[in-house]
Chain A
Amino acid sequence: MEIALTAGWTNMAPISVAQKRERFESIAREQQGVLLRIAKHYCRGNEALAQDLVQDALVNGYKSYLDGGFKDGTNAKAWLVRILTNLFLNDNRRRKKFESGAEVREDLAASSSYEPDATILESLLDGPVEESLAKLPEHQRMCVVLVDIEGLDYAEAATILECPVGTVRSRLARGRSALFEDLYDYAKARGIVR
């Protein structure tokens, strides 16, 4: 079945739906790991919800792809992460379920001073780190996940989150600081540091 040219294909020969399907599937399989990892952090570790979110993102992504919403050769990762992020932000059901307990840790700065070594964080297992990450307010968590875990630059994260780069920078600063304090609290409570 031949389809009409769309905005993303203006300089190319018409391609069939089957070819589009093949191209998109290749992109989807390449990016699914990144999407799932990000979704898990967005959903605070809930694997099932994260998989649902990725599934929805790949379906919405394909619809958009068929409509010419993506130009081959541009940043597929950023495009799909943006779809995933918008889905997550727009899905009240997912959000409400995971918003409880996401209050900012105002009490973190009140901890007493001691002398832990910064390298102590290296010895922590993933569990406590992921738990601390899950405690961050949603927008801070998203910035930390995109920039510090997935390695996107500030501009890419800003595009995905549809906010200015300065906002990414400030959310990141607050998120990192809160994580540092929370992880040291954790380490102190377990006697890892005195």
Chain B
Amino acid sequence: MMRTEISPCWHMKGMVQGLADGTLRGFLRKYATFHLRYCERCRQAVAGLRAVIARLSRLLKPAEMPTESWSTIASAWDDAESATGPPPE
């Protein structure tokens, strides 16, 4: 049964996150992977987290500042340059 909350075993709480996003390495990864073989609850936690991470990554879409913003930015950059001024002789 798929759980509707992420609730791994207490000793796996930190590790399921790392397993889900691929940051868990070395012995801890081996330990966690081994545990998952026998623990449905933690498997579901990892599956749920992976689903969230995969879905979030799809929010990465091109974004573009409007053209008119660039002229405002350019004026502010001009002001910044004026404020900097040449170095004292």
Chain A contacts to B: CB under 8 angstroms:
1-4, 17, 21, 24-25, 28, 32-34, 36-37, 40-41, 51, 54-55, 58-59, 62-63, 66-67, 108-109, 111-122, 124, 126, 129-130, 133, 144, 147-151, 153-154, 169, 172-173, 176-177, 179-181, 183-185, 188
**Chain B neighbourhood of A122, CB < 8 A:** 51, 54-55
Shortest C-beta distance, A180 to chain B (Å), equals: 5
Contact indicator A118/B51 (Cβ below 8 Å)? yes
Cβ contact of A149, chosen from B6, B51, B57, B80, cutoff 8 A: B57
Could you write out 16 A-B pairs with CB less than 8 Å apart? A2-B86, A17-B81, A36-B65, A59-B73, A59-B76, A63-B83, A66-B84, A119-B51, A122-B51, A126-B59, A147-B21, A169-B14, A177-B6, A177-B49, A181-B4, A183-B55
Q: Supply 13 further A-B pairs (C-beta < 8 A) apart from A54-B69, A62-B80, A133-B56.
A: A3-B87, A24-B77, A32-B63, A32-B65, A62-B77, A66-B80, A109-B5, A113-B1, A116-B4, A126-B59, A129-B59, A149-B60, A153-B23
Cβ contact of B52, chosen from A1, A32, A176, cutoff 8 A: A176
Chain B 31-52 per-residue mask, 1 if CB under 8 angstroms from chain A, else 0: 0000000000000100111111
Main secondary structure of the interface of B (DSSP, over half): helix
**Chain B neighbourhood of A116, CB < 8 A:** 2, 4
Contact indicator B17/A169 (Cβ below 8 Å)? yes
Top 9 A-B pairs, shortest CB-CB distance: A118-B51, A4-B87, A177-B6, A36-B63, A59-B76, A148-B56, A118-B47, A121-B51, A121-B55
Q: What total of chain B residues lie within 8 Å of the partner, measured CB to CB?
A: 45
**Chain B neighbourhood of A34, CB < 8 A:** 63
Shortest C-beta distance, A39 to chain B (Å), equals: 9
Cβ contact of A117, chosen from B2, B49, B66, cutoff 8 A: B2
Chain B 59-89 per-residue mask, 1 if CB under 8 angstroms from chain A, else 0: 1111111100100110011001101101100
**Chain B neighbourhood of A150, CB < 8 A:** 60
Q: A151-B60, A179-B52 are in contact. Are A21 and B77 (CB under 8 A)?
A: yes
Tell me the bound Cα distance from A112 to B78 in angstroms. Answer: 59
**Chain B neighbourhood of A109, CB < 8 A:** 5, 7
Q: Across the interface, name the chain A residue whose C-beta is closest to B65.
A: A32
**Chain B neighbourhood of A41, CB < 8 A:** 59
Contact indicator B80/A59 (Cβ below 8 Å)? yes
Contact indicator B50/A118 (Cβ below 8 Å)? yes
Contact indicator B80/A63 (Cβ below 8 Å)? yes
Shortest C-beta distance, B27 to chain A (Å), equals: 18
Q: A36-B65, A181-B6 are in contact. Are A149 and B17 (CB under 8 A)?
A: no
